[in-house]
Amino acid sequence: MAERENVVFVDGARTPFARAKSLYAETRADDLVVKVIRELLRRNPNLPPEKIDDVAIAAATQTGDQGMNIGRSVALLSGLPTSVPGYSIDRWCAGAMTAVTTLSSAIMAGAYDLAVAGGVEHMTHHPMGEGVDPNPRYLSERLVDPEAMLMGKTAENLHDRFPHLSKERCDHFALSSQEKTAKAYANGLIQPDLVPVAARSSEAGVILVTEDESPRPGTSLEGLATLKTPFRPHGRVTAGNASGLSDGATAAILANEKVADQLGLTKKMRMVSFAFAGVDPEVMGVGPVPSTEKALIKAGMTIEDISLFEINEAFAIQVLAFLDHFGIADDDPRVNPMGGAIAVGHPLASSGIRLMANLARDFVTNPGAKYGITTMCIGLGMGGTIIWENLQGSSN
């Protein structure tokens, strides 16, 4: 059997994330992705557009401005040659992550040399659950607990399963996410990966969006303690220790490492392994545990080999369940060094590439780090994990 080709993460970028029903309310979802792809092409002039083998764009709701095969649509709208194909992809929150792993598999097999992956979620135009028609067998045959259909309730279920992971610990983690995000902005670490968006507004005309809208720098433990628990009376999940509803898009350039060297492209990270795993849907937030274990086994590694972790903060309890399983402290500085989705938001299918762009930046600020993980939970009981090798620091 021939050896697989190495896949490298050349570059990644995203729009600033906006709160749902806010800054992007009058901006199309596909236009958000187009903006990011055009910026990536501008930033990487050595990449011949006609050499791109495929474009895969993810969205959790594929109707309206996220429909019409959004992968092919945005390839055309971005100005790529008509010879460059495209397709849409869906694994809910892990859509962009799956776009990356699917295209990377083709590169590993030698079928592709260059590809563009991306994801978008316009939760203003497409609220979570829009148009969903669950098969009645889910409930009549008890295949899925009814609470698995509401992500907030699955987070409450995780609290039930792990009572030692208290609301207080979740609020502390949420505060830390806000503080780390504010510090990263102050140090200019987040801004280089943001693509400014000129958003239409019938009231204000055109608004230039240059930063994430959701972070709340003034967050305090006292304030977090007073928030309502909408998913259960006297529950533990609040708007403060969960990610907010958001609009935004991400994209990334992937390449065969040999081709990247030939073209003189940036090589930020090398893919080591990836894995997806299923868990009980009613506790979907624990999904990153088995997917990470599978990815580590495939790589011949242990958790001790990992220097940096980018974990999607869908809910604080979900991150703490992961850390608790692997014996990592709640406040370990290797975890989400620039904050996470609790602060900046989680536009579902786009978030996987935000994690990758963050990890690439983490590797720059931690040059001695050799390996890092991007991982996230996925609705209906799944987790996804990719292990990356640093190609930018002193460890090489």
Separation between Cα atoms, residue 55 and residue 60, nearest integer Å: 17
Residues belonging to the chain: 396
pLDDT in tens, 155-181: 999 999 999 999 999 999 999 999 999
Q: Which domain covers residue 275, as residue numbers?
A: 7-125+244-388
The answer to the question of residue 222 being in a domain is: no
Residue 396 domain-assigned?
Answer: no
Backbone torsion region of residue 372, taken as left when φ is above 0, otherwise alpha when ψ lies between -120 and 50, otherwise beta: beta
What pLDDT, on a 0 to 100 scale, did the predictor assign at position 1? 47
The number of folded domains in the chain is 1
The whole-chain average pLDDT of the chain stands at 97
Catalytic residues: 93, 346, 377
Q: Is residue 153 part of a domain?
A: no
- pLDDT (average), residues 277-287: 97
How many other C-beta atoms lie within 10 A of the C-beta of residue 252?
A: 29
Q: Do residues 307 and 372 lie in contact, with contact meaning Cβ atoms separated by under 8 Å?
A: yes
With pLDDT > 70 as the criterion, what percentage of the chain qualifies?
A: 98
Answer whether residue 280 is part of any domain.
Answer: yes
Residues 6 or more apart in contact with residue 368 via CB below 8 angstroms: 307, 393, 394, 395
- pLDDT tens string 116-155: 999 999 999 999 988 889 999 988 998 888 889 899 999 9
Please compute Rg for the chain using Cα positions. Answer: 20
In the DSSP assignment, the letter for residue 194 is: B
Helix (H, G, I), strand (E, B) or coil at 356: helix
Domain with residue 250: its CATH number is 3.40.47.10
Q: Do the domain assignments include residue 288? A: yes
Q: Give me the DSSP letters along 196-260.
A: -EEEEETTTEEEEE-S-S---TT--HHHHHT---TTSTT-S--SSSBPPPEEEEEEEEEEEHHHH
Instruction: Indicate whether 340 belongs to any domain.
Output: yes
- Note whether residue 213 is domain-resident: no
Q: Quote the pTM value.
A: 0.98
**pLDDT attached to residue 395:** 46
